[in-house]
Amino acid sequence: MIRAYTHVERHQITPIGLLRAAVLGADHGIVSTASLNIGVAAAAAAPQEILALHLVQHLPLIN
């Protein structure tokens, strides 16, 4: 005989998990953007090219 078991305890994992995902996602974006900018700057690009790259990276945030 199979009995159905319902879990009645409430856990606070969901809100904490969402916060953790948001923080780690933001951190990942910052690190990716910074590493790309450093790579372009290390390739001896002109300052205007570095600024243009930085602006293009943040275009999705402007919309």
d(CA 38, CA 26): 18
**pLDDT score recorded for residue 18:** 79
Range of the domain at 48: 13-62
Looking at the chain, list the stretches that DSSP marks H as alpha helix, in order from N- to C-terminal side: 13-42, 47-57, 59-62
Q: Is-above-0.75 flag for pTM?
A: no
In a domain, 31, yes or no: yes
Which one has a higher pLDDT value, 58 or 24? 24
In a domain, 20, yes or no: yes
In a domain, 4, yes or no: no
Q: Is the pLDDT of residue 62 over 70?
A: no
Q: How many domains does one find in the chain?
A: 1
In a domain, 35, yes or no: yes
pLDDT digits (tens, 9 = 90+) for 10-53: 766 667 777 888 888 888 878 887 888 788 778 877 888 878 88
- Residue written as tokens 């943040």? 58
Q: Who's near 37: CB < 8 A, 6+ residues apart?
A: 50, 53, 54, 57
**pLDDT score recorded for residue 39:** 82
In a domain, 29, yes or no: yes
Q: Compute the half-sphere exposure of residue 12: CA atoms within 13 Å on the CB side of its CA.
A: 2
